[in-house]
Structure 1
């Protein structure tokens, strides 16, 4: 189906158009499986209670209370509810000429960076988790539409504009959160790689290659997240491993450098003293007990 009223058509913001509700309904579904279909309208489906799945563009989206999905015009989808009831509130809207009475989409976007960002996304559907702001606006909108008088019609048109802005803000916050979570995943993956290969001669470029990022960018996000560079993180990890070997094993000191991925014993001794204030030999002696080694030494996990 042609997406005649796509949210992402620049015409709506460049000319005098406003969002207009064409349909709305509450519905409780029980053990229901809808066939694939599409609307010329833009549709917002909000889960009030229960759970369901929506299939759109070959993606299956599990939804529960407080979730909403906004489907662009012309996007094929279907709803499935297995067993227990799922109560939903749906609204469908298009764009109509303003006639000078209501704020246009262009005016709304000019005053809302989040809405401008939403109009540029061009995605067939957007799934969001609502803290309750969108639902309150939806309920107020439906109440005004149910009344149907002139004044209530004006309020309904203002509320659909408010609804779009609330959805846009939620989408902007969600995208920002996703970006932060993605950065966290890259940093965690880099840290995991360091823990797995600290006993080898690894360089920043090796870590960056393992997480498929440019070394400079990875260095920047790693330091911002961990408050230290990857080199510093690797050094601290190696020192902790060396301390464990000195305190809990009888591995000769001259061999410990090899165990933690350092080629130079002199460099190991200098680095160890820089971090602990003690030479490796002095540290080992300080950890000795009448039983040979102090089994109470803690291994610090700095992952």
Structure 2
């Protein structure tokens, strides 16, 4: 196993900023424990190989592989070659549902499968490097171009051989990329992203999306495999995961800041996803050598 330091959830990182596109191009750090985030993760292996432990299965990506998986499932990069370089990004659902994907791709990803294609070419290393530079530039036009180009690259996977890896079959009746319901799902995701820390329910979400609450719930479940409540909870848990890194983190305070109405609900949902209580998670994070945790988030850093 390569020794290059370990990844720790950052206060201003992907877990805490679930509505922003994060791009990366680097040698990745291994993970001591699984993490999760409310975006679809895109990985392109520039050099070497990387091994992930997903929920219920393992995958290994090698140089030239392009892979996508739903970050809402706990996952862990647990091994990699010494020379590995990977590129990619964390794609918020507001962008993911802009994609024109085949039915099996969209449904499989949201059900926890990993989409893998080995049909990449010489332009991919150049493009991923440029998209990383554009997003990190902070220039809104460059960021917009990077997003559009990345989405087009993902859509082109449908024209090449690809696999959906998970050991599970796609559930029947999964949603196709319906051009009518996609804008509704986008409006739903936008509203939840802006308001998940507040007390919101299906009626609030439906009003913002300009549809009937029952229809909002049906459409969202059809597209994502999650209920509205499941997705709101995931956003809150992702946010809380980063807050627990704070030196002065109090579990009750984290629960309230993340939008949970009660400590018992927070504990129950956190344990269900992480396999441990928030207190145990916080203790585990603090016991890790080299962990530096400021008391409060500093000014937002560029995408990291």
Q: TM-score with structure 1 length normalisation?
A: 0.40
Structure with more of its chain in strand, by fraction: 1
Structure with more of its chain in helix, by fraction: 1
Q: TM-score with structure 2 length normalisation?
A: 0.40
- Give 1 or 2 for the bigger CA radius of gyration: 1
